[in-house]
Structure 1
Amino acid sequence: MTPVTSDLVVTAAVRLDAAVPDRGGVVWGEGRAADGGRVQLVRRAADGTTHDLLPEGSNARTAVHEYGGGAWWVHGGVVFTVDWSDQRLRRVDDGVVTLLTPEPAVPRGDRYADGDVAPDGSWLVCVREHHPTAGAPATDVVNEVVRLSAVELSEPEVLVSGPDFVAAPRLSRDGRRLAWLSWDHPSMPWDDVVLTVRSLDSGEETVVAGGPGESVSEPAWHDDGSLTFISDRTGWWNLYRWTGSSVEPLVVLDAEIGEPGWQLGGSRYAVLDDGSLVFARSSDGFDVLVVRAVSGELTELDTSFSAIRSVRADGDGVVCIAGSPVAEPGVHRVSVAGAVETLRPPRDLGLDPDTISVPEPMTFPSVDGDGNARDAHALYYPPSGSVSGPPPLLVVIHGGPTGAATPVLAVGLQYWTSHGFGVVDVNYGGSTGYGRAYREQLQGAWGIVDVADCLAAARALASAGRVDPERLAIRGGSAGGFTVLASLARPDTPFAAGADHFGVADLEALARDTHKFESRYLDGLVGPYPEARDVYVARSPLTHVGEFSTPLIVLQGDEDAIVPPNQSEMIVSALRDKGVPVAYLLFAGEQHGFRAAENIKRALDAELAFYARLFGLTVDVPPVEIENL
């Protein structure tokens, strides 16, 4: 097999961020790498024709929570969207753009997201995140639900204020009631969330679900006034309905319907006009679409999809973004009978399906923070094509750390398997997709359980003879970057190389410097700060530079507000001074994750060149400068 190149990874590459049926057609968002990662909205009309909706240079992206999501929504042919440049909300109607929110006193100081429009289209509700000053400390940032005109510029009216965070404001079908989610520090949206309903006529409020130990998400109204939502009250994110007087279970499975609320506006299920439901459920890391009839009967749909999101009702079925191990995500319409119509196909990559590396679920023994035996999970991708002898292994760590490895064709991953690497994508303890108990295994144990599982995955594959134990590498971004550093800053590390993408080197600095959404996240993963300062210091990779001897490549965006560049610069400086081989690439204009095609390409090729130099591989990519080698 000809190796997948970085050019193929980025050529015509898009990120599909949501898909919404509208007036017989569908609108979806495309983050286009060739245009610096800008998100353009595309409408596919009922006749199959497509056209861009936003003016050239627009970028439908919100900075709420820094991770964004829910940057646009649609009602009756009208698109409401937030632009990255100023974070103001706009109405786009047949090409006419109308600003709906005032210019804030602080540039980009008022950020909007996750909206819903009244039935008559005259007003809307959404989340607003207010930053009173440039670079305001996390304690000064205010998150609220606001109401404003949907047709003209107006001053938003605050409907919900007080909780540290709010999300998913949703209007009942008659527009007379509002449902929303809220949570407070130090909880995250997968920890303790409250679902509240308010009568907009009387102001009477009802707490429907949630509280300590229960994560609630995705409220959705029915025509009869009942409200569906996702809750993990049984230990799994399942479906429930509030009738107005009580809550009843709709779907109870040992599988996950919900997903962690890193971004706003997610949708894992849809309410159809006849009252039936279509939802995505995850089991052993793989998604399946399921129909729940009004009678309660469940039917799994026979599609090829293994990763599914943005599930939205559309007639007798749903529109969703979905992909498989041999196809990138596309936009598809799926009927309740399982018929699939592809509306926005994935790229034609020109790859022979037989040469694509398909993930194998694996469960392997590991230990918890106290050394007790437990199982961990991963997806293993064998190298594609013929390989002489056991291949080098690349251990991949997803970000989050409350996230999950996704079994969908990712050309960036095939880049490695096509170059002769085996790749194991680890769903370490703390990952989602395996229930709340598994997700909580990382509580108080970040830097311990995740590291143990990454080491155990590599050793399990090496012991089985599937990979070369002398050529083990580890890579990860964000929280995954922290796990990379923690896995290398120890004398017993089995890894011969590592790649840190905008990872955390100093936990104490992160606790002091990060943004509001994650400013108390470490309370659960490490301990409350500053009370547990000694734990922060002990867990920080920077503290253990003396035990660090593995060559490392570090890649960082210079505008990253989530893990600031100083985190990368601290570890690079320390390794440079210690004489450890290190390479450092800083990408101008990039935030948390690389979006521009030229930067994605350079990052991949530089990392491959780094491994090739260390492992004696022959590759056709530009070299990278490695200090101290």
Structure 2
Amino acid sequence: MTTPLPYGSWPSPFTAEWASAASPRMDGAAFVGDDVWWGQSLPAENGRTAVLRRRVPSGALPGDDPSGGDAAEVLLPAPWNARSSVHEYGGGSWAATADGRLAFVEKSDQRVWLLAPGGAEPRALTPEDAATSYGGLRITRGRLLAVREWRGEGALRRGIVEIALDGEASVRQLVGESDFVAQPALSPDGTHLAWVAWNHPDLPWDRTEVRVGRIEDGRVPSWAAVTSGTTAALQPTWATDTDLVYLDEPAGRWNLWHRVHGGDGFGAPEPIAPADADTGGPLWSLGGRWYGLLDGGRIVAVRTNGSDELVLVDAQEPGFGGDASGARASVVRIDVPATSDLCIEDVVGSRALVSGAAPGTSGLWLVDADTGAALQVVGARTETASASGPSAGIPDAWMPQTRAFTAEGPRGPVHAFVHPPTHPDHAGPADERAPYVVLVHGGPTAHVGGVADAKTVYLTSRGIGVLEVNYGGSTGYGRGYRERLRGQWGIVDVEDVVAAAVGLADAGEADRSRLAIKGGSAGGWTVLAALARTDAFAAGISRYGVADARALAEDTHDFESRYLDGMIGPLPEAEETYRERSPLTHVDGFSAPVLLLQGSEDRVVPPSQSEAIRDALAARGIPHAYRLYEGEGHGFRRAETIVDALESEVAFLGATFGFETPGIPPIALD
């Protein structure tokens, strides 16, 4: 039997410290002999990314132990920090050789280093050069490939390079000739290179090309485009010396395709098990991969339609072709707990390593395609300080019953996920509706998969509901939904989050007067724009949010420097549109309290953006608080920052909506 208590004031065993430890950032994983290696941020060590390993014998799955059997061992000791800055968001910051050597990008100097088993200190593989960075590391058939980014002749340049693993530091450029490159793939015989390329003003979810060229005398002198250049093709992988598999979206959904190379070039593109779902996503990180080739002509792949699922595609030999409908391919769903942020990290034989987020946990699952078994080998311990002692997982009684929710917006359906307040011992009063936090993801080209993670449970266990909105422009629903935002950033995203929030309140599930909106980066822009242009929300939380679109276009890094061409319009022609769309232009529309959270070293959205909003709120006498976290960049990594931010958000909601927040320090609003 539950006891009524005001929403927001329910006692919870889930602390901010717990939520910080239970939400690690993963950065790649690999099979290395009988070990599984993975990259993981360590909030307790100032958020550095270490590489760890755990023994998982190749002949067997790790039994019923969710920790994966043997204890994890840190391979990359402090103070080394495996983190790339290529394209600003990095990814692919480490790779492992078959004999157990670790190649990694050190954050402080962006050089590639090599750590040998039992070695005392890593050895530099690339020359010292403050103007050069590396990322997207891939070791194929004993050869280390990477994306190199360097400043030359006043501009940033990028190319695919091969880095020598033995001998003196040596870097050889294979190909450049475009503004951006990613995902290099070497053919099995080592004669051909495939990669993804695109140019300004496009982003990799707008238009790219998959290119293939022959390696001659250590470089690729010429190449051919395998895809049309009008779609956002991704992830080329060689099935054989002549058969190239890749992702493309000519019909509006990212699906698997392949082309066979003959004496006269590549044959016609053929689909592999086409589906009304996306195998693919926005290439923010150089480590993103959505499928892997298993033995026997099989493919393990992610399919996304709102949430993610893992499938096994049996292309039914010979080849991957099938007929034009893909009728010869069978598709079987693999039951894995993770249904958000799925990534195929590595494949060997019939086994795959899949990272992702499941209710209450995130981590890494080992999947056996022969048996269909999927067991978690890496995962944060979600311990609670309850009277019954620590638990390896969140008890079901605390987990919200998440469900998909669709509201009708001005431009069509708006997709969202609802996480209702959940507590085994308490419920809200019969005459009270729950306050809700409407979460707006960043990007804006990204999506949420509807998983109640540790930070969601931190809120729902206190009686605060969470509504995650995949507004128009989000991925995971096809190119048409993604392009709803083109030219309309600051309009469609605001319309859609308002429609979802009001729709939930009209359905009787949320208190219309206690709707808060929260988002980071591009999500922070939507927060500020919604507060400035509507009265739908009674409070706002902006994490490193964009306040001035014109300033962002001037200040941001090269990867996103033309992003706003598609989201708002090209400059200088659209100058007035930039001014009109920016929340900072409409400070007279602010009336609700605002919490601003910002990293001091953010190069994507500098502190000046949050501080301009802070000053405008102060000038108008609107209650607000501003937290500047020293040493943090775009996204918080340090344990003390994550803890303070989470506690500040709940304290802010309590102060604004008028409920007690037991166990959480109060916040002072200016």
CA-CA distance at 1:224 after TM superposition: 4.3
* Map of 2:191 onto structure 1: 176
**Cα distance, 1:167–1:222 mapped onto 2, change above 3 Å:** same
String of CA shifts for 1:269-325, please: whole Å, max 9, x gaps. Answer: 110122211111112323233333435111112333312213421221311113322
Residue type of the alignment partner of 1:321 = S
**Cα distance, 1:409–1:522 mapped onto 2, change above 3 Å:** same
CA-CA distance at 1:75 after TM superposition: 2.2
* Map of 1:337 onto structure 2: 371
* Map of 1:392 onto structure 2: 435
CA-CA distance at 1:192 after TM superposition: 0.5
CA distance in 2, matches of 1:441, 1:212: 21
CA distance in 2, matches of 1:34, 1:63: 22
Q: Secondary structure at the match of 2:484?
A: helix
Matched ranges for 1:605-620 at <5 A: 605-619=647-661, 620=663
Residue type of the alignment partner of 2:410 = V
CA-CA distance at 1:523 after TM superposition: 0.2
CA distance in 2, matches of 1:131, 1:455: 43
Residue type of the alignment partner of 2:18 = L
Q: Which structure has the higher relative contact order (CA within 8 Å, separation 6+)?
A: 2
Residue type of the alignment partner of 1:249 = P
String of CA shifts for 1:431-454, please: whole Å, max 9, x gaps. Answer: 000000000000000001100011
Residue type of the alignment partner of 2:115 = V
CA distance in 1, matches of 2:402, 2:222: 47
**Cα distance, 1:209–1:363 mapped onto 2, change above 3 Å:** farther
Q: Secondary structure at the match of 1:277?
A: strand
Greater shift in the superposed pair: 141-150 or 568-577: 141-150
**Cα distance, 1:448–1:517 mapped onto 2, change above 3 Å:** same
CA distance in 2, matches of 1:95, 1:358: 47
CA distance in 1, matches of 2:357, 2:539: 31
Matched ranges for 1:99-138 at <5 A: 99-104=124-129, 106=130, 109-119=131-141, 121=142, 123-131=143-151
* Map of 2:258 onto structure 1: 241
For the 8 Å contact 1:481–1:501, the answer to whether it is kept is yes
Please tell me whether residue 268 in structure 1 is matched to residue 290 in structure 2: yes
* Map of 1:551 onto structure 2: 593
Residue type of the alignment partner of 1:493 = D
CA distance in 1, matches of 2:380, 2:358: 11
Q: Secondary structure at the match of 1:610?
A: helix
2:224 maps to which of 202, 207, 222: 207
For the 8 Å contact 2:361–2:379, the answer to whether it is kept is no
**Cα distance, 1:154–1:238 mapped onto 2, change above 3 Å:** same
String of CA shifts for 1:220-248, please: whole Å, max 9, x gaps. Answer: 11234311111111100100112112221
Please tell me whether residue 414 in structure 1 is matched to residue 431 in structure 2: no
String of CA shifts for 1:338-373, please: whole Å, max 9, x gaps. Answer: 1123322342433321211132111110013xxxxx
For the 8 Å contact 1:269–1:312, the answer to whether it is kept is no
Q: Secondary structure at the match of 1:274?
A: helix
Please tell me whether residue 98 in structure 1 is matched to residue 123 in structure 2: yes
* Map of 2:101 onto structure 1: 78
CA distance in 2, matches of 1:18, 1:428: 28
* Map of 1:287 onto structure 2: 309
For the 8 Å contact 2:258–2:271, the answer to whether it is kept is yes
CA distance in 2, matches of 1:125, 1:224: 18
* Map of 1:26 onto structure 2: 36
TM-score computed with the length of structure 2 as normaliser: 0.88
For the 8 Å contact 2:311–2:333, the answer to whether it is kept is yes
2:471 maps to which of 428, 435, 439: 428
**Cα distance, 1:126–1:11 mapped onto 2, change above 3 Å:** closer
Residue type of the alignment partner of 1:463 = D
* Map of 2:348 onto structure 1: 314
For the 8 Å contact 1:553–1:583, the answer to whether it is kept is yes
CA distance in 2, matches of 1:46, 1:475: 40
CA distance in 2, matches of 1:175, 1:517: 30
Greater shift in the superposed pair: 202-211 or 424-433: 202-211
CA distance in 2, matches of 1:336, 1:248: 26
1:151 maps to which of 149, 163, 166: 166
* Map of 2:5 onto structure 1: none
String of CA shifts for 1:53-89, please: whole Å, max 9, x gaps. Answer: 1132111110111111111112212221101111100
* Map of 1:305 onto structure 2: 338
For the 8 Å contact 2:302–2:311, the answer to whether it is kept is yes
CA-CA distance at 1:204 after TM superposition: 6.2
For the 8 Å contact 2:311–2:331, the answer to whether it is kept is no
String of CA shifts for 1:122-154, please: whole Å, max 9, x gaps. Answer: x42210111359xxxxx7111111223122343
CA-CA distance at 1:211 after TM superposition: 4.2
String of CA shifts for 1:166-191, please: whole Å, max 9, x gaps. Answer: 11111111211111111001100011
CA-CA distance at 1:487 after TM superposition: 0.2
Aligned alpha-carbon RMSD (Å)? 1.8
Q: Secondary structure at the match of 2:501?
A: helix
Residue type of the alignment partner of 1:178 = L
For the 8 Å contact 1:403–1:431, the answer to whether it is kept is yes
Greater shift in the superposed pair: 158-167 or 321-330: 321-330
* Map of 2:54 onto structure 1: 44
**Cα distance, 1:179–1:378 mapped onto 2, change above 3 Å:** same
CA distance in 2, matches of 1:115, 1:85: 17
CA distance in 2, matches of 1:286, 1:342: 17
Which consecutive unaligned segments of at least 5 residues does structure 1 have? 134-138, 369-373
Q: Secondary structure at the match of 2:297?
A: coil
For the 8 Å contact 1:328–1:409, the answer to whether it is kept is no
Count matched residues. 611
* Map of 1:54 onto structure 2: 76
* Map of 1:378 onto structure 2: 416
String of CA shifts for 1:386-426, please: whole Å, max 9, x gaps. Answer: 12221001100001000001333411111111111111000
**Cα distance, 1:221–1:24 mapped onto 2, change above 3 Å:** farther
Greater shift in the superposed pair: 496-505 or 386-395: 386-395
For the 8 Å contact 1:362–1:378, the answer to whether it is kept is yes
Matched ranges for 1:591-606 at <5 A: 591-606=633-648
Matched ranges for 1:357-506 at <5 A: 357-368=400-411, 374-385=412-423, 386-388=427-429, 389-490=432-533, 492-506=534-548
Residue type of the alignment partner of 1:302 = D
For the 8 Å contact 1:183–1:189, the answer to whether it is kept is yes
String of CA shifts for 1:497-554, please: whole Å, max 9, x gaps. Answer: 0001000000000001100000000000000012100000000000000111111010
* Map of 2:584 onto structure 1: 542
Residue type of the alignment partner of 2:94 = W
* Map of 1:10 onto structure 2: 20
TM-score computed with the length of structure 1 as normaliser: 0.94
For the 8 Å contact 2:24–2:42, the answer to whether it is kept is yes
For the 8 Å contact 1:357–1:384, the answer to whether it is kept is yes
Residue type of the alignment partner of 1:438 = Y
CA distance in 2, matches of 1:204, 1:275: 32
**Cα distance, 1:323–1:607 mapped onto 2, change above 3 Å:** closer
For the 8 Å contact 2:23–2:361, the answer to whether it is kept is no
For the 8 Å contact 1:390–1:468, the answer to whether it is kept is yes
1:325 maps to which of 347, 353, 359: 359
Residue type of the alignment partner of 1:40 = A
